[in-house]
Amino acid sequence: MKNVIFISPNFPTNYWQFCHELKANGLNVLGIGDQPYDELSGELKASLNEYYKVSSLENYDEVYRAVAFFIFKHGRIDWLESNNEYWLERDARLRTDFHITSGFQTDDIPRIKYKSKMKEYYTKAGIPVARYHLVDNLEGCLKFIGEVGYPVVVKPDNGVGAVSTYKLGSDEDLKGFLAERTEGVPYIMEEFVHAEVNSYDAIIDSNGEPMFETGNVTPMSIMDIVNELDNSIYYILRDLPEDTRAAGRATVKSFGVRSRFVHFEFFRLTRDQEGLGKKGDVVALEVNMRPCGGFTPDMINFAHSTNVYKIWADMIAFDRSTMPVGEHAYCAFAGRRDGKDFVLSHEEILEKYGAQMKMVDRIPDVLSAAMGNQMYLATFPTKEELDQFYSDILRCR
């Protein structure tokens, strides 16, 4: 029996389903988390063979001892995973320290976590990348801006989501950023790309071949949503465009991805941009070597009448899956921000779109900056119906 350690199986709250499918496949599922066992959901408890509570997942020594205990009790660990961006480096360090070879090691981290280093592998895949500059001083930044012009975007070179990401439009903005930036954090500055974000989401087998593929579109900037406390929308595509599929597969090969659930982000240009391409072209943004966050796995299931939790668990257990993919649709996410004067009340939304609604819930505070406070997931067969849903649900007085 394969032994699988799942780090932080209780968060996000839907990740118990990864553990459920692993256990259903006959694997020995061992959880490590910082939530007391009695507070775990019934579904998660039933999905784990054993759970080890640490006082903090940030404490490497504690987590190290937890893994060592599981090895002492159960033998060799075949897989260790969190499927969580925040713990990618921790996962790799644990694999390296315990010689768990079924995943990224510490030496792999720079190319999959640092935005500046990702560009080399996107370029090898033949995908254009935005010009960039590693932030140093005012003189160096002004020289780069002299080449690309304002606006520019600055963000941590190794960061999660749109946290600490800024759009600078003037020398005054630049000076303000340089004065206020977090000391000791490397930042990357990039030319501004006029685009919407398209993704390639896939489960990759041990040979680097896709077992399942889809994609999503974020028409609004996550950076603006976080910085301006705006509403949040994105949707799973009914059908993955062939150019996104080709770019995604080329990126898999370039980065040497095997046996992973991935979320690769690309720009799709909304106008011609010199040095990058024509309107509609695909340009590299960044790779994420884990599933798209929040409730996106559930959205993928709703959009494609399938179960990606099972496909991922089948990849680990069997390196193949017989999970069917059924009827395709768009699956919309709308995250409404508290305090806005919306035309339609919560009750009116449910009355109008109840037949299409798949999930309605409050968004955890830790995710609300990027996703809003109240979420609605709904499926639609056409883009026109999808657009009308967004128009209705986000319209304010």
d(CA 328, CA 323): 15
Q: Are 104 and 91 in contact (CB under 8 A)?
A: yes
Residue 30 CB partners (closer than 8 Å, separation 6+)? 3, 4, 5, 6, 48, 49, 50, 51, 52, 70, 74, 77
pLDDT the model gives residue 108: 97
pLDDT the model gives residue 223: 56
Confidence of residue 211 (pLDDT cuts 50, 70, 90): very high
Quote the distance between the C-alpha of residue 373 and its chain's center.
18
Predicted TM-score (pTM) of the model is 0.94
d(CA 197, CA 217): 6
> For residue range 216-245, what is the model confidence (pLDDT) as tens digits?
999 865 556 555 668 889 999 999 999 999
> For residue range 110-133, what is the model confidence (pLDDT) as tens digits?
999 999 999 999 999 999 999 999
Confidence of residue 163 (pLDDT cuts 50, 70, 90): low
Mean pLDDT score, 318-346: 95
> Which of 212-221, 348-357, 375-384 is predicted least confidently?
212-221
Residue 111 CB partners (closer than 8 Å, separation 6+)? 117, 118, 120, 121, 255
Q: What is the chain's Cα-based Rg?
A: 21
Mean pLDDT score, 6-30: 97
Question: CB pairs under 8 A, 24+ apart, for 185-188?
Answer: 185/156, 186/134, 186/135, 186/156, 186/157, 186/158, 187/134, 187/135, 187/154, 187/155, 187/156, 187/157, 188/115, 188/116, 188/132, 188/133, 188/134, 188/135, 188/154, 188/155, 188/156, 188/157
d(CA 113, CA 132): 16
Mean pLDDT score, 99-105: 97
pLDDT the model gives residue 366: 83
Mean pLDDT score, 63-90: 97
d(CA 211, CA 292): 16
